[in-house]
Chain A
């Protein structure tokens, strides 16, 4: 067949085939794309699905008089797999909104798809601040936390305490780079110095050579700009090689599951920033108890964030009377999120959900009542102190 004929055929077929963009069919279908079995599975994997389902159930299971559908898939932490799933979901399976989303590389790839197709992305697991700056979009809701909040919490506090020289062990992808950059800026702005850094691939299990480099650097603090099992493994290596005897370790992103996996005698005393702690007050305790009954483990901030984001989204759909993304987003930004997770919160024009963060300290085993009693809350960091200010060009509410 000649090329011309092929083009003609294509043109005809093209008009017949549906140019599937976001469908406004009055039915809400949420897809949770998370890490079901990899390094971040405990943080936002099956638990994020559970949390999202809880929100749907608590909301009543129906919105706009139609049942709410929930599907889920495993991103396997690979951008190409996640991107293909997201594309298939929004182009041929009528998914309205994609939630979960952990690992900034995966989230980056997925939001490329959802921004083009005008679907909402509820980012609950990822940390990179790029989603509300360089890569901002009117269809992004960055809910739970980001690297700026982590740095402004942990790093600022420690530099203030006199820990001036820092060495970074960084996960070698978008999240790690962003966290290191932002933290370095905070260090320098507060009179500190970054004496060195090293990049480790995501999923590294043996940190011995990186730990050796850290030891040789003469730093006061070794910052772990990674998460999940990477943090646990890095801490283990640091302990094994005696680094913890002469230097502090700062886990910049630590979830409750990781804390429980660490040796309390070594990790005890470490300060970290989190968006949620189950034992903070009666409200958080009540919700966390329900979550633990369904999931078998206390919730991480990603789980709580997934619930909160889904709830806020469904409320907005109800109020707006449609599942059209533009209208719903506008509605979401007009109402202030308010639940056990989103405290003193505001959902800004750039898609950043700003809320109070917590600076906590890991309890030593002797101080713990039971295995879940892991943190001592040191102070509450108000949202506007924790987060980056909104950029003019990303303000989609004007």
Chain B
């Protein structure tokens, strides 16, 4: 009898841990989205595609430039961030004064283009990226075998999310940023280059997606549609957390990953719908999201 219970506990903990790992990706990606929407009022539907670009950049960097995983962790987000800044300056800034929905449609189109280009170049089945040597192997926990690389993912996500939250909420730079989005003219009057800050912020939000891409490469195959599959979930998370809330996105991302894991154990068929059910419920009860401020 206790043997049966043991297995159940082990299986449950295993799923929760996997859920936490998935939640780390959700948190990183929704953080980027939340920054871009919360602070810049831009709806970046291309976040998923840029995550995919990050993963491909790591893969191609390894193949053609002998870029190691560790180098990719640093350079790929920067590269993706720069790419994002170019997009913001040339495509998004011109429509900045229009209805938010236009930025949604524009970035949607962008995402389609990026996905199409990579599918054309690389086919739609996944390519594999090797786990870095230093992170191979794992630890045998009582309830499951935890691969080192997966633990690494959780660690990186928590650290990056934490630092970002601190930077935005607690530092002077963050204060400028928040001021710049609430009242750009006033801040500009103080001599702060507001357009530059906006561009840099967009670049940072996108760089987070690129980072998530590099982290994902060894565990999810690198394929052109990896972004579109995860994007809808991430959008739901940002809405649940509250579209203006940075902290909300992080916490909700991790929480949703765990909830998904729980569902996989108790009622697997619902595991893909549970996030959307939660979103609908939250929107009905607290429309601005769990941690959001009314727009």
Contacts and interface: CB of A to CB of B under 8 A. Distances in A.
Q: Do chains A and B touch in the complex (CB under 8 A)?
A: yes
A131 B124 CA distance: 27
Interface string B127-162: 010010000001010001101011000000000000
Contacts of B226: 205
A206 interface: yes
Interface size on A, as a range, is 20 to 34
Nearest to B223: A205
A41 B15 contact: no
A215 B14 contact: yes
A38 B11 contact: no
A213 interface: yes
B138 A242 contact: yes
Contacts of B145: 241-242
B83 interface: no
A233 B125 contact: no
Contact of B7 (A38, A40, A216): A216
Nearest to A37: B123
Interface string B253-268: 0000000010010001
Given A205-B220, A205-B223, A212-B144, A37 B125 contact: yes
Interface in A210-258: 212-213, 215-216, 218, 228-229, 232-233, 236, 240-242
B35 interface: no
Given A205-B221, A209-B15, A215 B144 contact: yes
B144 A38 contact: no
Interface string A174-186: 0000000000000
Given A38-B124, A216-B10, 12 more contacts: A37-B119, A37-B124, A38-B125, A208-B150, A208-B219, A209-B18, A212-B18, A212-B144, A216-B7, A240-B147, A241-B147, A242-B138
A215 B10 CA distance: 10
A11 interface: no
A39 B264 CA distance: 25
A198 B119 CA distance: 30
A209 B271 CA distance: 11
Contacts of B149: 240
Given A205-B226, A242-B145, A38 B18 contact: no
B220 A206 contact: yes
B126 interface: yes
A206, A212, A240, A261 interface centre (most CB from chain B within 10 Å): A212
A40 B223 CA distance: 14
Interface string B166-189: 000000000000000000000000
A119 to B, nearest CB: 28
Nearest 9 pairs between A and B by C-beta?
A216-B11, A242-B145, A37-B123, A212-B14, A205-B221, A205-B220, A39-B125, A38-B124, A240-B147
B15 A233 contact: no
Interface residues of B, number: 29
A241 B144 contact: yes
Nearest to B120: A37
Nearest to A76: B124
A41 B166 CA distance: 47
Given A37-B123, A206-B220, A229-B221, A242 B140 contact: yes
Given A228-B125, A241-B145, A241-B147, A216 B223 contact: no
B10, B124, B150, B223 interface centre (most CB from chain A within 10 Å): B124
Contact of B18 (A41, A205, A208, A229): A208
A177 to B, nearest CB: 15
A209 B264 contact: yes
A241 B139 CA distance: 10
A229 B125 contact: yes
Contact of A209 (B7, B126, B147, B261): B261
Interface in A353-398: none
A55 B226 CA distance: 38
Nearest to B264: A209
Contacts of B7: 216, 218
Contacts of B140: 242
A42 B268 CA distance: 31
B218 to A, nearest CB: 9
Contacts of A228: 125
A76 B119 CA distance: 12
Contacts of B223: 205
Contacts of B123: 37-38, 41
A233 B15 CA distance: 18
B126 A229 contact: yes
Contacts of B268: 198
B11, B15, B125 interface centre (most CB from chain A within 10 Å): B125
6 contacts: A37-B125, A39-B124, A208-B150, A212-B14, A241-B138, A242-B138
A40 B149 CA distance: 28
Nearest to A213: B11
Contacts of B144: 212, 215, 241
A209 B144 CA distance: 11
Nearest to B269: A199
Interface string B32-52: 000000000000000000000
B181 to A, nearest CB: 36
A115 to B, nearest CB: 29
Interface in B203-260: 219-221, 223, 226
B15 A212 contact: yes
A241 to B, nearest CB: 5
A206 B147 CA distance: 14
Nearest to B12: A216
Given A208-B18, A209-B261, A240-B147, A41 B125 contact: yes
Contacts of B14: 212, 215-216
Given A37-B124, A212-B18, A206 B219 contact: yes
Interface string A78-116: 000000000000000000000000000000000000000
A216 B145 CA distance: 12
Contacts of B138: 240-242
